[in-house]
Amino acid sequence: MVYGHEQMQSAIAAIEELASEAGAEAWDWQAPETDESLLDKVKAAGEARIAEGFTIADKMERQNTLSAIRKEIVDSLVSDDENSPDGAPCAV
């Protein structure tokens, strides 16, 4: 593992040099606040089912099951007339 880390240092240095030459400014990005109310609703709607879905060994079956659970949760929490803040229909 140390070997890989050492070898990546030259690539990281090259990226940092390119960024400084290009004069790119660092983004002042802050993660949005967590909506605890929504998080609680999502947990209540399917946390146990999601955990159970992750125990499925077959990859395709697991993905299909988790996708179905996700769709059910989103459908139960978002009504058809609700829109995202920009006015477009919610596409979660």
Is 20 part of a structural domain of the chain? Answer: no
- The owner of tokens 């395709």 is 60
Is 38 part of a structural domain of the chain? Answer: yes
- pTM of structure: 0.56
**Bridge partners (DSSP) listed for residue 89:** 83
From residue 21, alpha-carbon distances to 13, 76, 84 in Å are 12, 50, 39
Total structural domains within the chain: 1
Is 46 part of a structural domain of the chain? Answer: yes
Is 67 part of a structural domain of the chain? Answer: yes
Is 39 part of a structural domain of the chain? Answer: yes
Is 56 part of a structural domain of the chain? Answer: yes
The pLDDT tens digits along the chain (92 residues) read 788 888 899 999 999 998 888 887 878 899 999 999 999 999 999 999 999 999 999 999 999 999 999 999 999 998 755 555 555 555 44
Which residues form the domain of 48?
33-77
The first and second tokens of residue 50, run together, are 């999601």
Is 87 part of a structural domain of the chain? Answer: no
Is 16 part of a structural domain of the chain? Answer: no
Beta carbons within 10 angstroms of residue 73's beta carbon: 20
Determine contact, residues 46/73, Cβ cutoff 8 Å: yes
